[in-house]
Copies of this chain bind each other. A is one copy, B any other.
Amino acid sequence: MKYKKQVEKWDVFEVEIQGPAAGNPFTDYEVTGTFESKNECTEADGFYDGDGIYKVRFMPSFEEEYTFRIRAGFLDADLVGRFTATAPGKDNHGPVRVANTFHFAYEDGTPYYSVGTTCYVWDLQSDELIGKTLKTLKESAFNKIRFCVFPKHYDYNLGEPRSYPYQGTPMDSSVLTKENFQEYTGRSEGNDWDFTRFNTEHFRHIEKCIEVLRDLGIEADLIVMHPYDRWGFSCMKPEEDDLYWKYVIARFAAYRNIWWSLANEFDLFEEKNVEDWERYAKIICEKDPYKHLRSIHNCRNFYDHNRPWITHCSIQRQDIYKSAEMVNEWREKYKKPVVLDEIAYEGNIQHGWGNISGEEMLRRFWEAAVRGGYPGHGETYMHPQDILWWSHGGELHGESHKRFGFLLNVMKETPGIGLMPYEKCGWDEVCAVPEESTSLIKAVKEYYLFYYSFMRPSFRDFYFDDETAFEVRVLDTWNMTVENRGIHKGKFRVELPGKQYMAVQIKKA
């Protein structure tokens, strides 16, 4: 039995034991751990990691002494041990939770303002490309990334992944062209997989990616299933799916930065129905002791985000023209955080979902944020080797991402946790005020963040009351400039440059 005597609270505590390598260690034995301290008692599934090595992982939630007990079908007696969970490091705030109904905060209470991006299979690229992606992420404001466990088969994604999740061999991809790729689906011939034997190297690699993201302060929004498949991973049998879900949870649940995205575009799966998705959800709810965030992403029609296991909406835009503008409506409908995981991508590929301008992407970000939602980025610029950020990671070529840090900093200035749309603003502006429950609604708010989108007023007049003094700042959200405009009381006018993408920030002095 191998384990460390000490681990930070919210880090991964891992116990490694030796066991049989013969037969099918993925299915032959059940391995579990029980972790106890003064404040918690948690049971966690273990998993087989190849070469006769079995592992059980645990994320402690308290700074205290823990004892643990490992049970396994191949063990004559339980193994026991103890370790200490120490204070978290400076950048370790714990897992992200829903906070204030519509928002998020780390477990230590620090507000978390999601600024996400999507690189579906960045994790399955070459070491060199992964290195580039991480460098890009490090220099970015992104604090969440969506990506897949399974490889992806789609336009601009016809290559082989660095590894496959199962033992076996894939279909011969030399037959694929940009014209015929859509003829190949999960039911294509030539795939030869043993869906009861995982490729441990594939999962170890993904773990490594999750760890690096964690160390960069980035949440890993893990897409566990998706329909863009030529290998059969999207149409396994129910017992194979269940085995997969349990394996994924046993391996990854102890990482504090994991979010579970049941699917990308669940409605494009031809062979899954609501019962399947609900079954997977049940497995997660039972098997993930840490209750990480759970969502499911649509292509066309929404999943019912009112389902109790769904912690937040993970939305794809419903209309070409109106996107982030619908956040108000979705907040009202679901009473959960609204995360817009796809509001079209900045780029210039032929597809309409992947060719909006940087200006339009940033505009959608601000619209979403000021309506109390959380926008998501993606980038799809044509590339000589078809390396598109949206799927492969690598380098960013666009303009919007450079401006997200400015937005994130503004979001962080919110008093309390999270913004909500201010209903009394003009019809031709959006305005955010700090989230407050209806029972506590105050007449004059502490803070107002007005956004003018593509409109270009040369000035705006404001009036809140006669007593309160306000500090006024004018933000150019594109050029990232801030102008202090002094302290004002009563009725006051703010001169603006008559340009697009301006905001006015007003806080109680």
> Which residues of A does B touch, CB under 8 Å?
319-322, 325, 347-353, 355-357, 360, 382, 426-429, 453-461, 498, 500
CB distance from A455 to the nearest CB of B (A): 5
Of B321, B457, B498, the contact of A351 (CB 8 Å cutoff)? B457
- Alpha-carbon separation in the docked complex, A382 to B360 (Å): 25
Q: Is the beta-carbon distance between A456 and B500 smaller than 8 angstroms?
A: no
Q: Nearest residue in B to A348 (C-beta to C-beta)?
A: B498
User: In the complex, what's the smallest C-beta–C-beta distance from A378 to chain B, in angstroms?
Assistant: 15
- A453 closest partner in B (C-beta): B320
Question: Please, which residues of chain B bring their CB within 8 A of the CB of A322?
Answer: 319, 321-322
Contact call A456/B356, Cβ cutoff below 8 A: yes
How distant is the Cα of A356 from the Cα of B325 in the complex, in angstroms? 17
In the complex, chain B residues whose CB is within 8 Å of the CB of A500: 357
Residues of B within 8 A of A350 (CB): 457-461
Provide the bound-state CA to CA distance between A247 and B457, in Å. 41
Given contacts A320-B427, A360-B454, contact A498 B459 (CB under 8 A): no
Q: Nearest-CB distance from A327 to chain B (Å)?
A: 12
Q: How many copies does the complex hold?
A: 2
**Interface contact A455-B352, CB-CB below 8 Å:** yes
Closest chain B CB from A454 CB (angstroms): 6
The 6 closest A-B pairs by CB, nearest first: A352-B428, A348-B498, A355-B456, A350-B457, A348-B458, A348-B456
**A182 to B454 Cα, complex, angstroms:** 27
Distance, CA A456 to CA B427, complexed state (A): 30
Residues of B within 8 A of A458 (CB): 348-350, 355, 382
A320 cross-chain contacts in B, Cβ below 8 A: 325, 427-428, 453, 455
Quote the shortest CB–CB distance from A456 to chain B (angstroms).
4
Given contacts A321-B325, A322-B321, A498-B348, contact A457 B355 (CB under 8 A): yes
Contacts A/B (CB < 8 Å), 6 sampled:
A322-B322, A347-B456, A351-B428, A355-B457, A360-B454, A382-B498
Determine how close the nearest CB of chain B comes to the CB of A213; give it in whole angstroms: 30
Residues on B with C-beta less than 8 A from A460 are: 350
What is the minimal beta-carbon distance from A321 to any residue of chain B, in angstroms? 5
- Residues from chain B with Cβ under 8 Å of A356 in the complex: 454-456
Q: Roughly how many angstroms separate A353 CA and B428 CA in the complex, as a whole number?
A: 8
- CA of A322 to CA of B322, assembled, Å: 7
In the complex, the answer to whether A457 meets B349 with C-beta atoms within 8 Å is: yes
Residues in B with CB closer than 8 Å to A428 are: 320, 351-353
Most interface-central of A353, A427, A498 (chain B CB within 10 A):
A498
- Complex interface: chain B residues within 8 A of A351 (CB): 428, 457
In angstroms, Cα B322 to Cα A467, docked, is 39
A352 near B426: Cβ-Cβ < 8 Å: yes
- Please, how many angstroms separate the alpha-carbon atoms of A310 and B313 in the complex? 45
CA distance A456 to B398 in the complex (A): 13
Q: How far is the CB of A491 from chain B (nearest CB, A)?
A: 9
Could you tell me if A357 and B457 are in contact, using CB atoms closer than 8 angstroms?
no
Most buried by B among A351, A355, A429: A355
